[in-house]
Each structure stands twice: as C-alpha cells, then as structure tokens.
Structure 1
Amino acid sequence: MRITVGRDQSGIEKIRDFANWLLDLREDKLGGPNDGETIIDISDDILINNSHDPIGSLINFVYPSILENYININYFQERAILTPKNEVVKEINDCLLKKFPGDEVEYLSLDSICESEFVHDPFDANLYSPDVLNGLKVSGLPNHKLVLKIGVPVMLLRNVDQKNGLCNGTRLKVISLGKRVIEAHIITETNIGNWTSIPRMSLTPSEKKIPSNSQEDSFL
C-alpha cells in the first residue's frame, strides 16, 4: 500500500479520506449493521489482484521503475510498505533486495548469554546454544543474518544518536558496506541528506522471558 504525500490540497484530502476510511474500518462502521460478518467495498487502487505473486505485485506498485529511480533519495522518502508481522517484512525485504544491482553483503550477529543473569541459578549452556540464540526473533533487534546491498533503504530500530537525527524509525540509504561499519545518507526526519556511519554494536533485548544476550550487529 502506498501513500504519496502531495503538496496540493487534493493530495491532502486524499490522505485524510484514506485515514478516515481506516478508522471506520477499525471501528466496524463500514458495511452497515452486522453480526460479525459483512461486505466492505475496497477501492481498486489499494487491492492486490495478483494472487500468484502478491508480494511482487505490491512491490511493483509501491516502487515502480525502481532500477531507474533508486539512486534518487526522494524516491524512497515518498514510499513505504507497512506490514503487521516481521515474517512478512523479511519476505518483502528479500524480494525487494533481489531487484537492486550489485553484490550482497552478509552480516551475522555474535550471540552470547550474559552469565551474570545466572548468579543465583545454575547455568546450562546447552539450553542456549548459538543455534538457539541465532534463531530467536526478538522485537527491537535485527535477525541473526542481515543481507544488504549498496543503495537499499534501511531503518534504525533504536535511538543511536538523537542529536544528529539517528533515532528509532529514522530511514537511511546505504552508500557503503564495510566489515564493521555501514555508511549511509539520512533520507527522513530533520537531517535529510546528511552522511552518517553506523558501527556494529552490542544490543540487549528487553524481553523478560528470555535470558539477556548481546547481539553484535548493525541496525535493521
């Protein structure tokens, strides 16, 4: 689904109408009185009609002519795909990454248990092997394997340097992929166009149900 922010009144009205439609959908105000099931009219311009390749169809809709436009920073400022689940995010990212030219660069996290969490309890390393830790999908942390290419848009998952605009949700465009540092241009918020570098860093999940472990990775 794409929302392009327009500068004229008609563009603003379209965004307002779409936002009101989403609110009405959430509050069950569409389709009239019902007992839990109803028929809702959905505009053709937000429907995916290709049942054989819905992800590819969505990407082509939101990012048309991507090879001709991906160098342009404004191209990614005006477009985004929102999904409710991380599994869908990965599927879209993998499909979108294949469309970019150049070689892939793979980053792997270094997962380990913080043994200080087990001062008063016995620690069994077999319960938390690297394979187990690498398979965890934790909110606010990147997956164990991160694959990037030069030119792809990325998003920060935490506040890194708020003074320079590197906050949770900031979007960037990759310009260089080093072994321990990723260089990028900021494409959203207040510091659009600024160059920055993101080093590998130690991250600790906030989830209380799993033992604290550090993931040394980048930022996705």
Structure 2
Amino acid sequence: MLQDPSAETFSKQLLDIGDGKVAIDETGYVKLPTDFCTIADSQDTLIEQIFPDVHTQYINHEWLAERAILAAKNVDVDNLNLKIQMLLPGNLVSYKSIDTVCDDSEAVNFPTEF
C-alpha cells in the first residue's frame, strides 16, 4: 500500500477523526465519509469483498499487498485471519518456537534481543 493515493486518503481520514476534525451528527456519532470503508453484513461477506478468489490469488503478493481488513480488537483479527487461512488450499501446519536457550553456556552466542 506504499505510495497508494487511496491509502494516503484513508490515513488522513483516520487522523482527522482522531484529531476531532470530522463532523459529529445530532446523535453524537462521527459521520464517516461515504468512501471510508466497505460495509458488510457478516465477516464472510467482508472477506469475500476484500479478498475475492483468495484461494487462487494468495500467491500474488502485489494483490495481497493492496488489501487489508482492520479490526479494533486482536481477538477479531485472529478470527478473521483464521477464516481467511481456511480458504487457502493445502494442509494446515503449525510451527512452534521457543524464546530461551537450552544450553546456558550457549547464551553468549545469541544477542540479548533473542
């Protein structure tokens, strides 16, 4: 989304909302521009609107880079990611990792960020 004019517009709109520069209607809610987001009646519909044919397009990195679904809570992001992953072909694989050194004498071989 780098150098994408629509991404720049969206970023400005978010900043304007955060800075209180957007009109508030009579109910006290922020009035969003009509082109602010994609409205969908379910997560499945939203996924299909943002990632149409993801089962074949997922290998196209440019196509993927042009798309994003934003969510306010990590639990919602996790749920959306899982639903999208389930649409992809292939077997589900889990990778495990650890953040400790098994042999204390080897600790000097790793940066402290490890």
Bin of the TM-score, shorter chain as denominator length: 0.5 to 0.7
**TM-score normalised by structure 1 residue count:** 0.38
1:57 to 20, 45, 51: 45
Q: Relative to 1, partners in 2 of residues 1:27 and 1:92: Cα closer, same or farther, differing over 3 Å?
A: same
Deviation of the 1:5 alpha carbon:
4.8
In structure 1, stretches of 5+ residues that fail to align are: 108-199, 205-220
How far is 1:29 from its partner? 1.6
8 Å contact 2:51–2:67 — kept in the other structure?
Answer: yes
On the 8 A contact 1:5/1:78 being kept in 2, the answer is no
Q: Which residue of 1 aligns with 2:22?
A: 30
Query: What displacement does 1:202 show?
Result: 1.6
Contact 1:67 1:99 in 2 (8 A): yes
Tell whether 2:25 aligns with 1:48: no
**CA spacing shift, 1:33–1:68, aligned 2, 3 Å:** closer
- The percent identity for this pair of structures is 27
- The size of the alignment, in residue pairs, is 100
| Aligned AA (1:89) | V
Change (3 A) 1:202 1:95: same
Give the 3-state SS of the residue equivalent to 1:59 in structure 2. helix
Q: 1:45: how far off? A: 6.0
- Structure 2: 5+ residue stretches without partners: 101-114
AA matched with 1:69? Q
User: What SS does the corresponding residue of 1:18 show, helix, strand or coil?
Assistant: helix
Higher helix fraction (1 or 2): 2
Q: Is the 8 A contact 2:38 2:46 kept in 1?
A: no
1:104 aligns with 2:104: no
CA root-mean-square deviation? 2.9
Deviations 1:55-111, CA, capped at 9 Å, x for gaps: 21222222122122112232223333333322112211221122111222245xxxx
Check the 8 A contact 1:70/1:76 in 2, yes or no: yes
Q: Deviations over 1:117-153 (max 9, x none)?
A: xxxxxxxxxxxxxxxxxxxxxxxxxxxxxxxxxxxxx
Give the corresponding residue for 2:104.
none
Note the 1:166-185 alignment, pairs <5 A: none
Classify 1:100/1:48 alpha carbon distance in 2 versus 1 (closer, same or farther; 3 Å). Answer: same
- Alpha carbons 2:40, 2:46 under 8 Å: kept: no
TM-score, normalization by structure 2:
0.65
- Aligned residue for 1:28, secondary structure, equals coil
3-state SS of 1:46 partner: coil
Hey, what does 1:91 align to over in structure 2? Answer: 79
Q: Is the contact made by 1:63 and 1:79 (CA closer than 8 Å) also made in structure 2?
A: yes
Q: Are 2:25 and 2:31, in contact at CA under 8 Å, matched by a contact in 1?
A: no
